[in-house]
A and B are shown apart, each in its own frame.
Chain A
Amino acid sequence: AQSVAQPEDQVNVAEGNPLTVKCTYSVSGNPYLFWYVQYPNRGLQFLLKYITGDNLVKGSYGFEAEFNKSQTSFHLKKPSALVSDSALYFCAVRDGAGNNRKLIWGLGTSLAVNP
């Protein structure tokens, strides 16, 4: 079955430190992976996606994510966290097999960046 797991409900980092938000997935075919960010009482903002090619994907606001096929992971990273990065982060996957084009979402990880 298709699924996405974000194993950490909350991540705390100090401003200026590197951050990682974890995501693992399970699909039948090739995975198409997405990261979104949600600020309080706001909609979801697209950060980046992996479709094919280079395993390191660069996105908005200095974020990047690394696709690891063997570990079925797509962790979100940023070299130096900002207080303004504090938000809720969602990982989503689409299964390349079959005709189902529905996005499968993780439960989200709350990122708190402390000054």
Chain B
Amino acid sequence: DAGVTQSPTHLIKTRGQQVTLRCSPISGHKSVSWYQQVLGQGPQFIFQYYEKEERGRGNFPDRFSARQFPNYSSELNVNALLLGDSALYLCASSSQGGTVRDTQYFGPGTRLTVL
């Protein structure tokens, strides 16, 4: 079975632009979470969606938004890009939508560089 897939792999944008990152979860998984990982740090939680509803939101500005589609894939949108948004953006899928026992499986990530 295919794992979590993300596109694109790499992306270069300039300050002020907007970007859309995409994620397809493992087949059968209904929950998708987004994380930002800055070099040298652990992942920082951005959003979680389950069955197309937002289940959690991290401490990120409103420039960050996301949605989940009927096929459970997801998009993360970031508006008005800042240099500090440069990071690896990770998508994780899980089957149980955020129970304590839930195991998240990660995609390879999208490396975003903002110039």
Instruction: Please report A residues at the B interface, Cβ cutoff 8 Å.
Output: 30, 32, 34, 36, 41-46, 49, 51, 90, 92, 94, 96, 101-103, 105-108
Contact of B100 among A32, A45, A105, A107 (CB under 8 A): A32
Count CB-based A-B contacts (< 8 Å). 56
Contact B99–A101 (Cβ < 8 Å) = yes
Per-residue contact bits, chain B 40-71, to A (CB 8 Å; 1 contact, 0 not): 11111100100000011010000000000000
- Jot down 8 A-B pairs with beta carbons below 8 A, ordered by A: A32-B100, A32-B101, A46-B104, A90-B42, A90-B43, A101-B99, A102-B58, A107-B41
Which residue of chain B is the closest to A29 with respect to CB atoms? B100
* Minimum C-beta distance from A32 to chain B (A): 5
A101/B102 in contact, CB under 8 A: yes
Contact B108 A43 (CB under 8 A): yes
Q: Distance (Å) between the CB of A101 and the closest chain B CB?
A: 4
A51 to B102 alpha-carbon distance, docked (Å): 10
Q: Kindly state whether residue B77 has any CB partner on chain A within 8 Å.
A: no
Option from B55, B58, B106, B111 in Cβ contact (under 8 Å) with A45: B106
Task: Decide if A96 touches B100 in the complex (CB within 8 Å).
Answer: yes
Contact B58 A105 (CB under 8 A): no
CB-CB < 8 A to B45: which residues of A? 102-103
B residues less than 8 Å from A107 (CB atoms): 40-42
> A44 — which chain B residues lie within 8 A by C-beta?
43, 90, 92, 106
Whether B103 lies near A49 (C-beta < 8 A) is yes
Given known pairs A43-B107, A43-B109, the reply for A108 and B101 (CB within 8 Å) is no
Determine whether the beta carbon of B100 is less than 8 Å from that of A101. Answer: yes
Most chain A beta-carbon contacts within 10 A, residue among B40, B42, B98, B107? B42
Contacts of B44 in A (CB 8 A): 105
Question: B103 to chain A: which residues have CB within 8 Å?
Answer: 34, 46, 49
Question: Do the beta carbons of A106 and B42 come within 8 Å of each other?
Answer: yes
- Complex alpha-carbon distance, A42 and B45, angstroms: 18
- Please list the 3 inter-chain residue pairs (A to B) with the smallest Cβ-Cβ separation, ordered nearest first: A105-B42, A101-B98, A43-B106
